[in-house]
Chains A and B, each alone.
Chain A
């Protein structure tokens, strides 16, 4: 392409020909080549810089938008319970509480289920079953949150209200957590179940990949010592993948924290803290989405950014922790695979 065959081409012009065949070809090639290299490299660098700028702008804008609310409402915003924009009452406590409770319930249900599915896909299932079931489980993650929320609103919530919640209330009702439910079936519990559906495929897929990286030699060694399949899982696979599974759970938790739409649809939009899981409530993300649907007042918009800043801080911590663990794990499994 850029070789020195220029002497054969009449299109080079007299000036190039006068300098001799080789130097002419090389001079032309070098110029384009050098320019092309520089152009491609700077384009790539610019695109990468753009990604950095976008992330920086997101952080800056969220903090900047929150600054007005922060100066007016201060740190007390975090512990005030009431959110009544019409009366100028802004407090994040209900939504922080809602976020924590919904995330906890989600993780309590989702993590064991997801690890179990990950084990099934990596150890128990045969190759052909694996190649069918694996993509189907991941399909769950592809369902748009708005459709899942719509389904939760129309199908799941009435079912829970009619069957699951009365049962849980009558058997575990002595705990305030399982108090009397709402008449609609919407609430923290329903939101947790919908988020579980979104989190399970993520954690299951990552942990399956982690379990598949556990060296076969170690497993064979355990089997040779007479371990049963479960003992191989408990004694070899789980311990060597444990930190990675924690990271996977963090990533799933990050997804649950940040999901706004499905949560908004099924959480019932309560503005107060209810002790019962079956009561309505709100998470940080769902409150942001709910207020965004209307036209917020100036201070309300800033308070929404304040909620966003809290959410962003949570996400940042979770994601950094997950990445730190994952990177160490990558290095570890790279060594183990060698």
Chain B
């Protein structure tokens, strides 16, 4: 490296007043500036703003793509499925020959409703108790570990839940609707527990403290104060969990997929007909009439799920707002 030049010699020069022969320092040198002109960006700034607009257009486009896919799927299901709907579709059994015309999905409809009722009856109380443990009783470290467990349980592929119950209960004994309900309950459990925990956390601490100050014991506080204020949100979360589990197919193909054509009410002892497995099997068979019934069944299932999840969402916002205010 050569030695740097002595600083004062170079830096002193600009500080001196400009000599008369030097051109005056001019911001606008080389540019034409019209103060009365429009304030449009020029040069580099214009490029940056153009890039910004392009990126925003890409974002809007992505959202439009997602909405378009949703619209196409719903349109396909509605267009193919609406034609299959009739009174008989809801009251009759599928035809003896699965590739034949006519018939309905009454057994599947009844079976899916039964499966969901039993699964909810198992998952809802258990989920609420877990949420209560998380918010009211557990020490912070235990609560954090339990939340992790619930999140991991939520991440287990549903087909594996079916596979485990198949190996544990079905292999060598036969399928029953109850096992399918158990699998659905395991799928719903972490969803209900985490959502219930969030609703319980929204219950103002002041209400708990007021109960404490009156000498009310913990369980009476839970029963009289905490649960009543959170129960609306918890039930809404349950609706959302039901919407999620109602279309769940993977565990059912292992636990409740060999069923007859009759409307079945007994959940113990035999497999229950259900809509998801019906759609899957019809889609594997490649017959025109089977497809038509499968589209009809898909339409019924999708309509229920759309109503439940949109309605649940509206109710959820309402009960959340009630707690937060």
Measured CB to CB, the residues of A under 8 A from B are: 1-3, 33-34, 36-37, 39-41, 43-48, 50-52, 54-55, 57-58, 61-62, 64-65, 113, 116-117, 119-121, 123-125, 133, 135-137, 139-140, 142-151, 153-155, 197, 200-201, 204, 228-231, 233, 251, 254, 257-261, 265, 285, 288-289, 292-293, 301, 304-305, 308, 311-312, 315-316, 318-320, 323
Contacts and interface: CB of A to CB of B under 8 A. Distances in A.
B130 A47 contact: yes
Given A36-B217, A150-B294, A258-B158, A316 B152 contact: yes
A260 B159 CA distance: 7
Contacts of A143: 73, 247, 302, 305
Contacts of A312: 156-157, 160
A147 B302 contact: yes
Contacts of B284: 265
29 contacts: A33-B219, A40-B219, A47-B130, A48-B130, A51-B189, A117-B63, A117-B66, A120-B59, A136-B67, A146-B249, A146-B298, A149-B283, A150-B283, A155-B72, A155-B76, A228-B51, A251-B155, A254-B155, A265-B280, A288-B160, A289-B250, A292-B166, A292-B253, A304-B163, A305-B163, A305-B167, A315-B155, A316-B152, A316-B155
A62 B163 contact: yes
Nearest to A112: B62
A159 B138 CA distance: 54
B219 A39 contact: yes
Contact of A62 (B60, B67, B69, B164): B164
Nearest to B282: A150
A316 B87 CA distance: 47
Interface of B: 48-49, 51-52, 55-56, 58-63, 65-67, 69-70, 72-73, 76-77, 80, 125-126, 129-130, 132-134, 136-138, 146, 148-153, 155-164, 166-168, 171, 186, 189-190, 193, 215-220, 222, 224, 243-244, 246-250, 253-254, 257, 276, 279-280, 283-284, 291, 294-295, 298, 301-302, 305-306, 309-310, 313
A127 to B, nearest CB: 14
A200 B243 CA distance: 19
A44 B131 CA distance: 8
Nearest to A32: B217
Contacts of A201: 66
Which label, helix, strand, loop or mixed, suits the secondary structure of the A interface? helix
- Which has the most chain B C-beta neighbours within 10 Å: A39, A57, A151? A151
A133 B161 contact: no
A46 B132 CA distance: 12
Contacts of A144: 246-249, 276, 301-302, 305
B254 to A, nearest CB: 5
B67 A133 contact: yes
- Which has the most chain B C-beta neighbours within 10 Å: A54, A65, A311? A54
A61 B160 CA distance: 10
A124 B55 CA distance: 10
Contact of B254 (A47, A123, A200, A292): A292
A57 B148 contact: no
Nearest to B51: A230
B100 to A, nearest CB: 19
A44 B186 contact: no
- Which has the most chain A C-beta neighbours within 10 Å: B63, B132, B166, B276? B63
A142 B306 contact: yes
Contact of A292 (B55, B133, B163): B163
Given A40-B218, A151-B73, A292 B162 contact: yes
A120 to B, nearest CB: 4
**9 shortest A-B CB distances, which residue pairs?**
A144-B247, A258-B157, A44-B133, A47-B129, A230-B52, A116-B62, A228-B52, A120-B59, A260-B159
A117 B181 CA distance: 36
A48 B138 contact: yes
Given A51-B193, A228-B49, A228-B51, A113 B65 contact: yes
Contacts of B157: 257-260, 285, 311-312, 315
Nearest to B308: A142
A231 B52 contact: yes
B146 A51 contact: yes
Contacts of B133: 41, 44-45, 47-48
B151 A319 contact: yes
A333 B74 CA distance: 37
Contact of B149 (A36, A52, A61, A140): A52
Contacts of B186: 54
A308 B159 CA distance: 9
Given A147-B247, A233-B55, A289-B250, A308 B66 contact: no
Contact of B218 (A37, A123, A147, A288): A37
